[in-house]
Structure 1
Amino acid sequence: MWDRRDAPVEQASLTAMAAALRHRGPDADGFWTDAGLGLAHRRLSVIDVSAAGRQPIGSEDDGIQVCYNGEIYNFAEIRDELIGRGHQFRSRTDTEVIAHAWEEWGAQAVTRFNGMFAFAVWQARDRRLWLVRDRLGVKPLYYAWQAGRLIFGSEIKALLAVPGMTRTLDPVALDAFLALNYVPGPRTIWREIQQLPPGHILSATANGHALEPYWDVRFGVDRLTDRAETVERIRTLCDDAVRLRLVSDVPLGAFLSGGLDSSAIVHFMRPRHAGPLHTFSVRFDETSFDEGPYAALVARTYDLQHHEVVCRAADVPATLDRIVWHADAPVADISMVPMYMLARATREHVTVVLSGDGGDEVFGGYSVYQADRLARVWRSLPRWLRERLIIPIVDALPASTGKMSADYALRQFVAGAGESRDIAHYSWRTIASADQRARLLQPDVHAEATRDQAPESPFLAAARASGTEDLLDRCFHVDLKTFLADSILPKVDRMTMAFGLEARTPWLDYRLVELGARIPPAWKLSGLDTKVIFKDAMRGLVPDPIVSRRKAGFHAPLAAWFRGPLQPLLRESLSPEALRVLPELRPGAVQQLVDQHIAGRANHAFKLWGLVTLVRWAHT
């Protein structure tokens, strides 16, 4: 917390903020104050677990103070360079490297860091505060201005712990959540609180503040032309990205789904990891959702100490409210349930875990990218054929509850295929259409929400910022800036940090992201196959059945659960009585969705999960 007028910061506020984040750092706390400034930290000990690593940490003369969450993976080489320049260190932590690097290079130091991070730097000489977030947004950072004070923290609940902190539900964010099951940044569900965007620095002094980017990825620039050489570069960078993320003074393992991304991580980990390598996966009783046999194949191939967790419908009522609390703000991804259970089991064995998130955005792994390409064919069909024959047939398909069922995919496709290229990609990422949201929201709330900003605005802005006119490159950039940053990464961070478990994502090494942006889209997608060049790079390394299988995704059988064992939870969570906590919603429209889904007339599982999550969140 920082007061631009140098008014004292109350220790009670700092203590309350730190207490709200205890789950993220269960090992120790630390505080540092100056005139108008207070820093509070909860420590998860990973590098230099001694008392010397406690935060906040300063430079030699304490002229710079750092409060930090994350890891700088290349800190050792930066530390060596700083020692060569005369800097003296009191610990082996990467936190202290940030302090000395800032002292040496100022804010330009961040461009030298390869890692995941959210940190505050205070320079006493200039009375300047910097807030910094990593390039892709792996680590969260929220802030708010209140009565001349800049209040910031790793989770929203830390800001809300400050006495007098105001909170007002943002109708624009609410509409966006209903559309996407998450709120695209920099907005949050609260008007007063914002996210620091990935790859940005906020600097503040008594004279004002500025928010500036320090990194972005540009697609289609300096295109790669040698395919064989690119395959080798992918292998080399993947190996190095994993190598950097194995530095730890505490036990380390890996999530293993049986998909290509997590299996490739294990491949590069195994030769560098002495002794048993612990891996962890989730299983489901429902066959179409269960990837257990593939994970078992990888475990046998690499002689892993493999652990399995079974996720069943009965686990949802027992964990839902804790999941919603840890999610911090509405993020309605059903895979948070198995992720929560997986993280809980993983923390019994290790403190650090490597995860395969990011590979689909970097190398083109989502089926939605095929839809982006097929839409061109759809638009070339005669209008009468689309409207009189194909769409009625799709609308008449019975609602299935299977994983990525054909009827659901086809309905999503025809709903967006007629739109312009960027709007079509947004449409395929939506959960509730504009018409459905208009029915769900009270008229005055809907009018205010749609007057200020449409939910697709962040998608269109990201498409324009991609720096390219290529359809697929625009979509890759959009997903990095929206779906990955505001849905996937918050899920992984909140569910792992709920148990003080640090998740590291090698495929989001910024060097791989920059390489991926230079790869021609035709090398990523071919015919109906996705992630082609990454598969080529892993072929001969990872077992062939893993390389050759279609992407499955990390889901749970929610549609069937809501019609069966979770029907009581669904009706209870969305009853008229429960909905009173959110007067912005229209109970009749919500009940209609519930009835249609349970009767099998439609598959509203994702919409209903979003509403359940939203209402349970509002009750926390």
Structure 2
Amino acid sequence: MCGICGIYNARSGEPVSTATIDTMIRLIAHRGPDDRGVHLAGPLGLGFARLSIIDLSGGHQPMCNETGDVWIVFNGEIWNYKELRKELQERGHIFQTNSDTETIVHAYEEYGVDCIARLHGMFGLALWDGPRHRLLLARDKAGKKPLYYTNLNGNIIFGSEIKAVLGHPQVKREVDVQAMADFLSVRYVPAPATLFKNIAKIKPGHWILFENGQMREECYWDFSFKATEQRPMADYVAGIKQHVQRAVEERMMADVPVGAMLSGGVDSSIIAGIMSRCTNQKVKTFSVGFDQPEYSELPYARMVANHFGTDHHELVVSSADLTQYWPLLTWHRDEPVSEPSDLGVYLISKLARQHVKVVLSGEGADELFAGYPKYVVDWMARYYHILPAALRDQAIQPLLERLPYSMRKLKIAARNLSQPAPQRWMNWFGIFNGPLKEQLLTPATKAMIDLDASREFQHWLLHNPQRDALSSMLYLDTKIWLPDNLLMKGDKMTMAASLESRIPMLDYKLIEYAASIPSQAKIKGLKTKYLLKQAFADFLPTEILTRKKMGFNVPTGIWFREGQRDLISNLLLSERTHSRGFFQRDYIQKIMQDHLAGKTNYQAQIFTLASLELWFRVFIDTPTLEMPQGSMETFLAEEQAIVSAH
């Protein structure tokens, strides 16, 4: 795992500055502390920071072919590189290293841009074809690794993280107001946009080619739920088990120690269990809990660790940790911290890095096998919409809105059921939508934007419509929610600790197989993730299979009412926040009062607004692009002094 960056002055033809490339590498050095490399050739500059995982002595980058006219910087791992290497050697290619990186260079020589579709792995890469004056940027099929770029008057600047792009002296740090409004709706920014004006991220399964002053984008891989296959349930179960087993075994490939993130949920428990059966050594597992016992999954994680005999490590996170690390998490995220769970992922990654360089984690299974409660509720929405509209709108909805605070999740479900798709699907994990967004934004802000944040949802379904509502939800979550939020969190928080994270459940063959299973086989009654649990029913402890899904919940609602009460209030109700002109101060004050009084649970809305304001202070307000130091209180005080001085 590494960090890559580069510049191609296609329009100006100016030589790339060594100092600029060095700055860009420095800003992402945490992604690769083991080695660094630079290649400069007139208008082209490539930079690289390496975390050595495979071929420790021979994988230095930037790397080129034998003649030195094709160069690559590559972040990630290619699981099928040995098969590709053998194929290419049979075609006459001569290899100098044992790295997967060199395989990509020769594959490009042999197959051109089509080589990207042959890569089975996780990656963000940049490939320079000197004779053709061609720059190719590509991202893996599922979008596990990020890659950003900007087109600056025909000159291309790119990097594994936005801050590398911002390291170029001509790239401005400006907010994209539409992207900000979308972030408020779904707590992330759907690709290709970012929160920075004129900086984009490459979509999963896409490549972009810059050649002869033109930019061409292509989706080289997609999947669909339309071509389902009716088979006995036992066949589905056997197929899932086979694919998951293979995916985990492939991702144990490394020349350094490999461990596992273990939450105590079904997905991470399956992965830790398979790993423990694939090695004679104890697998190192890592778990994080919280100082509020009802939010902590540590007892379940210990149960799994004992069941499989792993070498288990854990830590407990408190409110003080969020105060301490929130500015730093914002820096590493490049955008606002979308969820409080970023804190747990970052701290457990720091702990894991003391023992291993690589971890396997369980993201993706919920989106493939219908693991969230929203899938079951939405699956039943068809019965709700059979009811007469008058009964729904005049009787049921008002009754549900009067439910007490303790039944807030049912109220959220009721509100969503009344919405049309795809707005309904977008809103399941939404934050500020409908009336909440209308009341939050100032008239001037609303005049600048499209209030409906479901554009990318509609775009994906327009180009690849699915066979039913559940399939559409699973497809959209795999294409948007996962790469733009969960996978982004996993990449940024683990790489902040110089740790590589691998995700077996998002193996592209497993994705395609799951998509071939009909929707009615994935949900049984009110049971979520039914088939995956059946596949490993004889493998996991019964308590793990039957436990209620918790998700990675963080007790911010309690923290905001207690230890962080004044801090959050001072941040969101400050004159600086108000002076931005985006939000109605009276409305923010109202939702904070209602939350602190326990009338309504606005913890997600408050966290989102606080994260956004911190992002402004880390990236927009400050005159220099530097990692924030100290706690939230310290950072805010120091940052205020710096801004005042300028």
Normalised TM-score (structure 1):
0.96
Write the distance in 2 (CA, Å) between the matches of 1:249 and 1:221: 39
How far apart, in 1, do the equivalents of 2:445 and 2:568 lie? 24
Alignment partner of 1:369 out of 366, 375, 382: 375
**In the alignment, what sits opposite 1:38?**
45
- Give the Cα separation in 2 of the matches to 1:463 and 1:288: 38
Aligned mate of 2:536, from 538, 541, 558 = 538
Distance 2:558 2:396 in 1: 27
Report the count of equivalent residues: 611
Distance 2:452 2:395 in 1: 32
Per-residue Cα deviation, 1:377-423 (whole angstroms, up to 9, x for no partner):
222234454344433333223324xxxxxx22212112121222322
Aligned AA (1:251): P
Aligned to 2:623: none
Contact 1:171–1:446 (CA under 8 A) maintained in structure 2: no
Deviation at 1:578, TM superposition (A): 4.3
* 1:8 is the counterpart of 2:15: yes
Matched residue of 1:360: which SS?
helix
1:196 aligns with 2:202: yes
Q: Does 1:151 align with 2:149?
A: no
User: Is residue 276–residue 282 contact of structure 2 (8 Å, CA) maintained in 1?
Assistant: no
- 1:566 paired residue among 564, 567, 577: 564
Following superposition, which runs of at least 4 residues in structure 1 exceed 4 angstroms of deviation? none
CA positional deviation for 1:569: 2.5
- AA at the equivalent of 1:24: R
- Aligned position for 1:79: 85
Contact 1:120–1:130 (CA under 8 A) maintained in structure 2: yes
2:522 is the counterpart of 1:516: no
- 1:607 match: 605
Contact 2:349–2:494 (Cα < 8 Å) also in 1: yes
Task: Confirm whether residue 174 of structure 1 aligns to residue 175 of structure 2.
Answer: no
What's the CA shift for 1:602?
1.0
Is this contact kept in 1: 2:173–2:196, CA < 8 A?
yes
Instruction: After TM superposition, give the deviation of residue 130 of structure 1 in Å.
Output: 0.3
State the distance in 2 between where 1:427 and 1:256 align.
29
User: Aligned partners of 1:133 and 1:337: how far apart in 2?
Assistant: 26
Paired residue for 1:312?
A: 318
Give the conservation status (yes or no) of the 8 Å contact 1:59–1:65.
Answer: yes
Match in the other structure for 1:404: none
Question: Partner residue of 2:424?
Answer: 424
3-state secondary structure, aligned to 1:33: strand
1:121 aligned onto 2:127 = yes
User: Once the 2 structures are TM-superposed, how far is the Cα of residue 163 of structure 1 from its aligned partner?
Assistant: 0.4
Structure 1 residues 279-332: Cα deviation after superposition (integer angstroms, max 9, x where no partner): 001112323322112111111111100011101112110111111111111242
Separation in 1 of the partners of 2:483 and 2:507?
Answer: 14
Work out whether residues 7 and 35 of structure 1, in 8 Å CA contact, stay in contact via their aligned partners in 2: yes
Mapping of residues 17-28 of structure 1, within 5 Å = 17-28=24-35
Instruction: Return the offset for 1:581.
Output: 6.5
Contact 2:329 2:337 in 1 (8 A): no
Partners of 1:384 and 1:218 in 2: CA distance: 37
Q: Is the 8 A contact 2:594 2:600 kept in 1?
A: yes
Q: Which runs of 5+ in 1 are unaligned?
A: 401-406
Give the CA deviation at 1:167: 3.3
Higher mean displacement: 142-151 or 568-577: 568-577
1:107 to 1:581, Cα distance in 2 relative to 1, 3 A:
farther
Deviation of 1:224 (Å) = 4.2
Alignment of 1:463-478 (within 5 A): 463-478=461-476
**Alignment root-mean-square deviation, CA:** 1.5
8 Å contact 1:331–1:487 — kept in the other structure? no
Could you give the per-residue CA deviations for residues 105-159 of structure 1, whole angstroms, max 9, x where no partner exists? 1111112211110000111111111000001110000110112201110111111
Q: Is the 8 A contact 2:353 2:497 kept in 1?
A: yes
Q: Distance in 1 between the 2:212 and 2:85 partners?
A: 32
Query: Does the CA contact (< 8 Å) of 1:576 and 1:587 recur in 2?
Result: no
After superposing the two structures, state which structure 1 stretch, 86-95 or 125-134, moved more: 86-95
The 1:63/1:581 distance shift into structure 2, 3 A limit, reads: farther
Does the 8 Å CA contact 2:225/2:467 hold for their aligned counterparts? Answer: no
Which deviates more, 270-279 or 516-525?
270-279
Distance in 2 separating the partners of 1:487 and 1:67: 25
Q: CA deviation at 1:18?
A: 0.5
* Alignment partner, residue 355 of structure 2: 349
Partner SS state of residue 606, structure 2: helix
Amino acid at match of 1:608: I
> What amino acid is aligned across from residue 513 of structure 1 in structure 2?
I
Q: Which residue of 2 aligns with 1:442?
A: 442
The correspondence for 1:293, drawn from 284, 290, 299, is: 299
Verify the 8 A CA contact 1:183 1:331 in the aligned structure 2.
no
2: CA distance, partners of 1:53 / 1:151: 24
SS in 2 for 1:274: coil
Q: Secondary structure at the match of 1:340?
A: helix
The 1-side partners of 2:580 and 2:557 are apart by 24
CA deviation after TM superposition for structure 1 residue 580, in Å: 4.7
Q: Is the 8 A contact 1:466 1:477 kept in 2?
A: no
Partner residue, 1:616:
614
Instruction: State the TM-score, normalizing by the size of structure 2.
Output: 0.92
SS at match of 1:79: helix
Q: What is the one-letter code of the residue matched to 1:531?
A: K
Match of 1:162, as an amino acid? H
Tell me what 2:146 maps to. Answer: 140
User: Who is 2:550 aligned against?
Assistant: 552
Q: What residue in structure 2 maps to residue 586 of structure 1?
A: 584
- Preserved CA contact (<8 Å) 1:372 1:421: no
The 5-angstrom pairing of residues 212-231 of structure 1 reads: 212-231=218-237
Secondary structure class of the residue paired with 1:511: helix
Pairing of 1:33-112 with structure 2 (within 5 A): 33-50=40-57, 52-112=58-118
Q: For the residues of structure 2 that align with 1:466 and 1:219, how far apart are their CA atoms?
A: 9
d(CA) in 1 for partners of 2:253, 2:485: 27
SS at structure 2 position matched to 1:53? coil
Among residues 575, 595, 598, which one is paired with 1:597 in the alignment? 595
- 1:484-519 deviation line (CA, Å, top 9, x unaligned): 111111111111000110000000000000001111
Code of the aligned partner of 1:97: T
Match of 2:573 among 570, 575, 582: 575
Q: Which runs of 5+ in 2 are unaligned?
A: 1-6, 619-646
Q: Give the corresponding residue for 2:483.
A: 485
Residues 149, 199 of structure 2: 8 Å contact kept = yes
Q: Partner of 1:234 in structure 2? A: 240
Q: State the SS of the aligned residue for 2:428.
A: helix
Aligned equivalents of 1:583 and 1:11: distance in 2?
40
Residues 468-488 of structure 1: per-residue CA shift (max 9 Å, x gap): 231111111111111111111
Q: Which amino acid aligns with 2:87?
A: E
Measured after TM superposition, the shift of residue 222 of structure 1 is 4.3
Tell me the percent identity: 37
State the partner residue of 1:403. none
How far, CA to CA, are the matches of 2:238 and 2:414 in structure 1? 39
Q: Separation in 2 of the partners of 1:582 and 1:331?
A: 19
Residues 249 and 23 (structure 1), Cα distance of their counterparts in 2 relative to 1, 3 Å cut: same
Task: Return the offset for 1:48.
Answer: 1.3
Q: Aligned to 2:405, what secondary structure does the other structure show?
A: coil
Distance 1:375 1:77, change over 3 A: same
What residue is the counterpart of 2:412 in the other structure? 412
